[in-house]
A and B are shown apart, each in its own frame.
Chain A
Amino acid sequence: MKRFLVRRAFTAVITLLAVTVLVFVLARMTGDPRVLLLGDQTQTSQEQWDAWGRDFGIDKPIAIQYVIYLGKLVRGDLGDSILQRRPVAELIWHRLPNSAQLAGVAFAFSIVIGIPLGIVAAVTRGSAWDYSSRSFAMFGHAAPSFWVGIVLIFVFAVGVNVNLGLFEFKTDWFPTSRKEAGLLSYVLPGLTLGWASAGGQLRLMRSSMLEVLDAEYIKLARAKGASRTTVILKHAVRNAFIAPLTYAGLTLAGLVTGTIVVETVFAWPGLGLLSIWAVNNSDYPILQGIILLVTFAFVLTAFITDVLYAFLDPRIRFT
């Protein structure tokens, strides 16, 4: 047990270190910030060039820079933005809640779309119902999310005139963008992002339903005379439901990628927009900070769960 913990902690630390090196190298590949700010060296006095080098901490050998960087990192200092001259941690902290809320709403949408359709697909396996519900859920994943977002905006925010004889209305139900209109403003971006992962939810729900339906206890329940509906809803769904929920953990990185596009389309002031801003301005400390945050969260969660699992489930084989 102890050996496992030490070993697991060791690999996690190594992984994190590898990520910091990777991110550090990537940031250096974006070039010398002085070239962007001051032009090339020939056009600037040596004193000014050096002063800026000290300012950005890039006057030392790269290995020492890395050590300094790592030291700051341990203290939670992600460095300062080049353009904004403010701590990156602060900038990220301001944006994080917006992204987290959007991700939460998106996850809810993916459950709402994916689970019922998954049940339908499993129960009607092989039929037209199966295919159409699968196709519908997968459509959100299959179409580019910026495109889905923009089309949704034009259909449900700008609105389309619908004339059904007696009923005539315009479908301008939601705000086009930004998060000012309260809960309503969460609908379209949440739907865009959630629909994209609904396909995955459906797939998991469908296959775990199929397996549960195939299990002996279901057959037993059916043999005892319970109706088909009862069996499906009471026994099967309850047992199959948990699988898709856990899907959330596995899509953290994917969700971050998704939010970049969706936040841009919907003018959502979250981390995605910040990272795009950083990329476009070569403000690499911000970019570095966001990538680190995402990967750290990913690696750390995996580590913690492994450890907790090791405590809770003694059957685990320590290899």
Chain B
Amino acid sequence: MAEARTTVPVLDATLRRSSWRPGWLPDLRRWPVTSVIILVPFAIAAVAAPLVAPYGLNEGSLSDRLLPPLFFGGTTDHILGTDPLGRDMLSRIIYGARITALVAGVALVAGGAFGTVMGLISGYLGGWVDEVIMRIVDIKFSLPFILIALALTLIYGSSLELLLALLAFLNWGGFARQVRGEVLLLREMDYVKLAKVAGASTPRILIKHIFPGVLNTVAVVATISVGGLILAEAGLSFLGAGIPPPTPAWGSMTASGRLYIATSWWASVMPGLAIALVVVALTLLGDWMRDRLDPRLRQVL
């Protein structure tokens, strides 16, 4: 396809305008403070769940079910209330951070790696290889993901492994497209041409010379697409094809808690808020990274 993109290396406006303030204090505006404030506690929760959580993952008795959160008639025993099986919501959310991070992480690495490789090959080799890969990416983008995921889940049964595979599939197209765009520019660079003249093999050029150049792009795309993965998990849970219990993924907690929303709203609202906060923070972080690392992507992402 004709690429009519006018690539303009736009320098970040802030970079030009604001400079380091006098003194040792860095300008906070230049750092994604909001994201960090939100993400750090969740990161700690994910890493040290058993240490941080007040209760065990499946601890609780049915007689304590659906206790309200603190300030809504609850006590400090269960700050965020309890779920329909009497388990502490806070602890479930803390453990859920771990599962959610795991799911998003694995899907991201798998999809990202595959997509990056596809993008590298497609961009560097060009020609019919490029054409085929890009058409596949086009098809991938045009398919209604959730319907296909749902159909496959109903055939094979929902399981963590299938969900990871589906999410990785959801994810790879964006990487392939952006990386390819980057490679198209990089391969015209003098140092790449020199390496070619010097007789370096194609894999060597791709790995040694081009891959480092696309890392920024990969990082930005990765940050921006994590949110989508977390949400896809939640959407599939709503439609009955999420991670099976008792694994405490946020999406499935939100989905199963919704039956109680008329009377015990916290069962669904708390994990839903956790998802929303984290995804907002990740998106802001992604925006920031894009502006800093790869301003060119601003126009396409």
Contact = CB atoms under 8 A, between A and B. Distances in A.
Nearest to B241: A279
Nearest to B259: A150
B142 A19 contact: yes
Nearest to B134: A11
A146 B261 contact: no
B242 to A, nearest CB: 11
A142 B1 CA distance: 33
Contact of A261 (B1, B10, B155, B239): B239
Nearest to A4: B2
Interface in A168-216: 199, 203, 207, 210-211, 214
Contacts of B139: 15, 18-19, 22, 295, 299
B191 interface: no
Interface in A230-271: 252-253, 256-257, 260-261, 264
B34 interface: yes
B85 interface: no
A41 interface: no
Contact of B14 (A126, A139, A143, A294): A126
Interface string B140-179: 0111111110111011000000000000000000000000
A142 B280 contact: yes
B283 A138 contact: yes
B283 A131 contact: no
A125 B135 contact: no
Contacts of A257: 144-147, 235
A93 B298 CA distance: 39
Contacts of A154: 261-262, 265
A242 B4 CA distance: 18
Interface stretch (A57-65, A71-79, A109-117, A310-318): A310-318
Contacts of A18: 135-136, 139
A211 to B, nearest CB: 7
A290 interface: yes
A150 B258 contact: yes
B240 to A, nearest CB: 8
Contacts of B238: 144, 146, 261, 264
B287 interface: yes
Contacts of A29: 152, 155
A68 interface: no
A254 to B, nearest CB: 9
A22 B138 CA distance: 13
A64 to B, nearest CB: 24
A270 to B, nearest CB: 13
Contact-size category for B: 35 or more
Given A214-B13, A299-B138, A319-B2, A143 B155 contact: no
Contacts of B146: 257, 260-261
Given A30-B151, A135-B284, A316 B135 contact: no
A10 to B, nearest CB: 10
B227 interface: yes
A144 B1 contact: no
A156 interface: no
Contacts of B201: none
A225 B299 CA distance: 30
A128 to B, nearest CB: 10
A252 B147 CA distance: 14
Nearest to B232: A257
A-B interface, 9 closest residue pairs, ranked by CB to CB distance from nearest: A142-B279, A298-B142, A144-B234, A143-B276, A147-B272, A146-B238, A295-B142, A142-B280, A257-B146
16 contacts: A15-B135, A18-B135, A29-B152, A125-B13, A141-B279, A142-B279, A144-B234, A147-B234, A154-B261, A210-B13, A253-B143, A276-B239, A282-B154, A306-B1, A313-B4, A319-B1
Interface of A: 4, 8, 11, 14-15, 18-19, 22, 26, 29-31, 125-126, 131, 134-135, 138-139, 141-147, 150-151, 154, 158, 199, 203, 207, 210-211, 214, 252-253, 256-257, 260-261, 264, 275-276, 279-280, 282, 287, 290-291, 294-295, 298-299, 302, 306, 310, 313, 315-319
Interface of B: 1-4, 10, 13-14, 29, 34, 131, 135-136, 138-139, 141-148, 150-152, 154-155, 227, 231, 234-235, 238-239, 251, 254-255, 258, 261-262, 265, 268-269, 272-273, 275-280, 283-284, 287, 298-299, 301
Given A144-B272, A154-B265, A256-B144, 18 more contacts: A135-B284, A141-B227, A141-B279, A142-B275, A142-B280, A143-B276, A145-B235, A151-B261, A253-B142, A257-B146, A257-B147, A260-B239, A264-B238, A264-B239, A287-B147, A295-B142, A295-B143, A306-B1
